[in-house]
Structure 1
Amino acid sequence: MYFQLHNLEEHSSVLESARNELLDMVAEGISLALEDPQKGILGINSYDAQCLRNFISQEHENIMMEWTSYVSRRELGKNPTLFGTIGEAKKWLAQRAPAKLVDGAWLGHIHKITTPFALRGVTKDTWQILSEELGDGDLSRNHVFVYQQLLKEIGCPLPDPQSRDFIRPCYLEAMDDQRSWKAAVAQLLISLFPNEFLPEILGFNMHYELISLEAMMAARELKDLGVDPSYFLLHICIDNADSGHTAMALLNVISYLEMIKATECDSALEEKWKRVQAGYILSQTLAVSPCDGIDFPDSRIEMSGRASKSVPIDPLTRRVIEIFKDKTSISQKYHCQSKVRIGSRTLVEWLDSSSWAHDDQQKHLELLGTLSQAKPWVHPGMGSESRLVQELSCGGRMFGAFTNEEVDILIAWIDALGPENTTWLYYRFTVREPVASRDIVSSLQDPACHHPVLAARSMDKTTTSAFVAEFPDFCFNAGFTTEEQPLNTPCQSQLPDVVALWFAHIGLLENMINVPSRTATSLYSNILLVLRAQAGFAIETHIPAGMAEMTRPSSPSLVEIGLEIVSSAQWTDGANLSCLKDVLLLTRRQGQSEDSAKLAYNMLQWANHPDENLGLLVGLALAFLGLKDAIAMPHELLGEEGQVALKMIVERERKGLLKCVQDIKGMDGAHYRDLKRGYCIGRVALEKCLEKAGQKTTNTLGSSLTEEMKKNGGI
């Protein structure tokens, strides 16, 4: 699964099993945490911002106290904890490579164009943490890259994690810690369905970004061996609880839950809080070292008995409880001679009506948990084959004691206990209605509202051939100039086409950084710079912005600028847009052409295959700089603030995209040809939407790129 999740374009069939695996991992963590429900984050029964702040502060303090004890031991001459020789360090670092080389993956799929607009403030702040994990566009600060350099320094270079070579036996022998693989897969899974699991992602992030005792010890012990500890020092500094990721992740959770508190009902807040807790617990259970998090056992656990502790009851279980409450009130004495035992109880004791009569839900869950493990009466996951059901069915000794509907409910409950259905604990804990992964994945068909979407792969040939046929002689010359006329500012009648393409183009590059291991190159660092500009982040410096980015006055992103354009259009039904899908439906109602509608949809589809369509997508992004230049000119579509913000975005985009062009040209001819084709498609589409200005001149894109290229030595 590790390899498949790194290469989703070729392995989209893994999505269903991926979601099931994620839910199994979360359920396992919940079950373990419920062993002591008053300990840890479960001790905060209901969301309270100050209680949460105090809790995270205490967690941080506990780690620092452990660090102080460690330092004291070392000063007394005690041996290192993690490794004492270069050979031991090499083994330790290699064992942790699967998890370290996906650093940031738990946030890889958040803050997409499909993110509901109301949540974009929350996901933008989360994405800032991802950006810093990836180095903010500075390859030397990219966490995956830094770890790769560390492995090389210590004499243990490994193939790229997304390659098949990475999972070859000769390398797997060195990476033999199953906890590291499990932690890595969980990080790749947790953000895979961002629109469904945002609370869990935020909770996971809040725990994962706590400063790590293991990182502090590793930095000390590597330094003692004369090995560069930069990777671990980077985490120690960037995860600090004042202005770093610990503080950012905490504020992120509070901002999200305060928004839920202000806009939704109490039950919704309770559900979201439980889901934040579930994500936090998942990160705890994935500790690769006993020094980090909770020292939970690795083995797959039997959850049925443990699940009886402080777990809200789901509708199916509630119905089973009601059935047994009704039956035990009249049946106990019928079984007084029975020698059958349900766990440690005799059948008569288990049927004791006094145990069922009161509304003690946790007691009821304990009784059901015992029954769920009482073979042969109950075989988890095999309702019809369980002896209890057979005895209640035709030919059984209790036939007629339960109605047909009651037997069906009992079968469904037993089926839900099976190994493939261990996710029942997740749904029970979070009070969510269960949804089958098959149903979720099969619905991921619309790139305007779903992520991920992997239904279509290659370009729509009818779209591309139509556009290219209208512009057959286009090519970049040696100086990357194009003798094109600048685009006009759109008029009212052109806005439906322009708005749809505007919003669709925002998603062109965003999926290129979904998997952190792919970002450890110059090209993807430059793509990250472009994405930061588009999202409205401050200009990069040599020091991570941290909390300063989250607390500074917000700058408009391309999405906010697009919504301002919609507002300026004064469409009567343009208010209360909640997501990209709403925007595209609105533009169709306002008279959008079939050509632009098709291109908008195709751009969203192509963007879901960033590896296959790398050159095409960068070329399209280049073409849309011309549209932004036109809209940034003074006119009624944008206010002065929006115009200034857009000009700044375009300036940063242009610099970043130029570097991308240089990187792609140095890769291979196919990607560069795709880049030119993508530019051609985008430019022609925009010219169809917007009439050209009267005077022929070298366009802004070409001249600006030429100037930048002269500074950088050309292409």
Structure 2
Amino acid sequence: MQATLEEMQAAASASRRYHPNSDPHHDPHGAGLLPARIYAQLNVAEPDAAALAQARRYLVTQLEATQALPCELPPAGQDMAAWMQARAAQVGVAYEAYLQERRAGAPRQYFSGRAHALNFLLRVAPTKLVDGAWLYSAVKHWRDPVFRPLILTYLEELGDGEVAMNHVSLYRSLLQAHGCEQADWLSQAHYVQGALQLALGWHGDEFIPEMFGFNLGYEQLPLHLLITAYELNELGIDPYYFTLHVTIDNAASGHARKAVDAVLEAAAQWPDREEFLQRMRRGYLLNELGASTLGVIGSFDLDQEVQRVLADKAAFGRMMHSDYCRIGGKTVNQWLERPEGMRDFLAAMEQGKWILRGEPAGHSRFWRLIDAPGGEMFGVFNGYEKQVIREWIETGWDDAPRQPSFRAQARGRQGVAEQPEQPHQEAPSHLDAGLDALVAPLSPACHHLPPGLEATRLFSQCYRTRCIV
């Protein structure tokens, strides 16, 4: 089954808009507007004036780029609710067709194995680790009821201060559980969405319609979210971060519906309704820039990835090996002097029986060196890198045991200690007047840290339970 029409159009337009260079330092926009640089400069507690100015320029260039893109939004604002419902129904029909195909024996559509899935988690991490950032500037407008839907959405992205529900904390934990440290080998395209979210978060006051529009696009439920959650579970990877978004982004009463209502209310209050809707559409189209989900999934190649993993290590290990061991007539140090020659190095290890392809990884001497406690290379490769190597070695092994799903593993666990509940601090009755003081700890770089979580709890309690005027 193919992806929905919307997803294919988004992937195609994103591909036309952004052609990442293999050099991660390549600047497609000129003037130093590298998405990864913007991302790093803004993902701090207090970006400096130069970083904010550069981020504004970057945001303007990206908004200009959306003018060439087709927009699926209906021309009349009053038709948005019907559009949202029809879109959600289309996704539901497509997902049911996917499930029927899987029940009939079709293979996974997205992920060839755990390494592929973990690679996906790494490549989308720059976006997921700033989840909700585009709404940050709305928080300071807590006195204005027009911003209430956006503020409530932001607080829910932050888990209302509960670490177990904070989206950034959830994703960080997911990466850590599988040894997926943040990768420094990602291309600029992988940072575009995160940079845009942060730029909107810090400049939302100037780009209010664009912020409402981006929120409208981001909060709609896509087909790829449902399939991703299903296949991650199959591969033994906790899908909760993704299933949580399936539930809270629902079109009935969740973020998808709130986003539509927020746009209509804000447009009615804006001095020029047509200007608001025009700018809102440009903000909506920002969602189509950068590396698309389907593009990220489709770009994975296990052979190329295992070579990249070894090439990355070569820079650090080329002077660390003794010369007594030779593989294919060369010492390990000699092989590592040419990171671009990892394909030949792997072939030499196969020929020398250091690696036995198509057999359990444990049969290979190279695997035992990197995986067994006490192995001479134990600790060199992280969890993700070892999964890549394992799957590459075991490719073609017909008797490989079936991977139990994450939920099956969870049912089989016994005696897992529950996390003690943290006592909630009651918000003092006078805190309404001090909500402004809690805005800074709710910033994208801070809200998932202990002070930010506490500030979020206090802000949420006051904002939700008191009459804000």
TM more than 0.5: yes
Q: Which residue of structure 2 lines up, in the alignment, with residue 79 of structure 1?
A: 107
* Cα drift, residue 85 of structure 1: 1.3
Q: Which residue of structure 1 lines up, in the alignment, with residue 172 of structure 2?
A: 148
1:524 to 449, 452, 464: 452
Q: Which amino acid in 2 is paired with 1:90?
A: L
* In structure 2, distance between residues paired with 1:10 and 1:20: 15
RMSD: 2.4
Q: Which residue of structure 1 lines up, in the alignment, with residue 338 of structure 2?
A: none
1:138 aligns with 2:155: no
| Structure 1 residues 488-523: Cα deviation after superposition (integer angstroms, max 9, x where no partner) | xxxxxxxxxx9xx996x44212121121x4222333
Q: 1:246-261 maps to which residues of 2 (within 5 A)?
A: 246-260=256-270
Q: Which amino acid in 1 is paired with 2:437?
A: L
| Structure 1 residues 27-65: Cα deviation after superposition (integer angstroms, max 9, x where no partner) | 2122122xxxxx511x41xx432x111112222223223
User: Does the C-alpha gap of structure 1 residues 30 and 69 become closer, same or farther in structure 2, counting only changes over 3 Å?
Assistant: farther
Q: Which residue of structure 1 lines up, in the alignment, with residue 467 of structure 2?
A: 556
* Cα drift, residue 88 of structure 1: 1.3
TM-score for the superposition, normalised by structure 1 = 0.40
Q: Which residue of structure 1 lines up, in the alignment, with residue 49 of structure 2?
A: 12
Q: Which residue of structure 1 lines up, in the alignment, with residue 146 of structure 2?
A: 122
User: Does the C-alpha gap of structure 1 residues 150 and 209 become closer, same or farther in structure 2, counting only changes over 3 Å?
Assistant: same
User: Does the C-alpha gap of structure 1 residues 216 and 287 become closer, same or farther in structure 2, counting only changes over 3 Å?
Assistant: farther
* Cα drift, residue 177 of structure 1: 4.7
The answer (yes or no) to whether the contact 1:110–1:123 under 8 Å persists in 2 is yes
Q: Which residue of structure 1 lines up, in the alignment, with residue 232 of structure 2?
A: 222
| Structure 1 residues 503-546: Cα deviation after superposition (integer angstroms, max 9, x where no partner) | 6x44212121121x4222333211101112333x04xxxxxxxx
User: Does the C-alpha gap of structure 1 residues 218 and 20 become closer, same or farther in structure 2, counting only changes over 3 Å?
Assistant: same
Q: Which residue of structure 2 lines up, in the alignment, with residue 172 of structure 1?
A: 184
Q: Which residue of structure 1 lines up, in the alignment, with residue 436 of structure 2?
A: 507
User: Does the C-alpha gap of structure 1 residues 287 and 60 become closer, same or farther in structure 2, counting only changes over 3 Å?
Assistant: farther
* In structure 2, distance between residues paired with 1:280 and 1:132: 21
User: Does the C-alpha gap of structure 1 residues 251 and 529 become closer, same or farther in structure 2, counting only changes over 3 Å?
Assistant: same
SS at match of 2:164: helix
Q: 1:379-528 maps to which residues of 2 (within 5 A)?
A: 505-515=434-444, 517-528=445-456
Q: Which amino acid in 2 is paired with 1:155?
A: G
* Cα drift, residue 8 of structure 1: 6.0
Q: 1:581-600 maps to which residues of 2 (within 5 A)?
A: none
The answer (yes or no) to whether the contact 1:96–1:177 under 8 Å persists in 2 is no
2:88 to 60, 66, 75: 60
| Structure 1 residues 276-332: Cα deviation after superposition (integer angstroms, max 9, x where no partner) | 11111112335631389xxxxxxxxxxxxxxxxxxxxxxxxxxxxxxxxxxxxxxxx
The answer (yes or no) to whether the contact 2:191–2:290 under 8 Å persists in 1 is no
* In structure 2, distance between residues paired with 1:89 and 1:532: 35
* In structure 2, distance between residues paired with 1:205 and 1:502: 26
> Which one has a bigger Cα radius of gyration?
1
Q: Which residue of structure 1 lines up, in the alignment, with residue 72 of structure 2?
A: 40
* In structure 1, distance between residues paired with 2:167 and 2:291: 19
Q: Which residue of structure 2 lines up, in the alignment, with residue 2 of structure 1?
A: 39
* In structure 1, distance between residues paired with 2:256 and 2:47: 35
SS at match of 1:103: coil
* Cα drift, residue 157 of structure 1: 3.5
| Structure 1 residues 110-149: Cα deviation after superposition (integer angstroms, max 9, x where no partner) | 131xx495xx101122110000001011110011111111
Q: Which amino acid in 1 is paired with 2:137?
A: H
User: Does the C-alpha gap of structure 1 residues 123 and 153 become closer, same or farther in structure 2, counting only changes over 3 Å?
Assistant: same
The answer (yes or no) to whether the contact 2:59–2:199 under 8 Å persists in 1 is yes
* In structure 1, distance between residues paired with 2:54 and 2:128: 23
The answer (yes or no) to whether the contact 1:96–1:288 under 8 Å persists in 2 is no
* Cα drift, residue 78 of structure 1: 2.4
* Cα drift, residue 86 of structure 1: 1.4
SS at match of 1:83: coil
TM-score for the superposition, normalised by structure 2 = 0.60
* In structure 1, distance between residues paired with 2:42 and 2:86: 35
What is the number of equivalent residue pairs in this alignment? 299
Q: Which residue of structure 2 lines up, in the alignment, with residue 196 of structure 1?
A: 206
User: Does the C-alpha gap of structure 1 residues 513 and 271 become closer, same or farther in structure 2, counting only changes over 3 Å?
Assistant: same
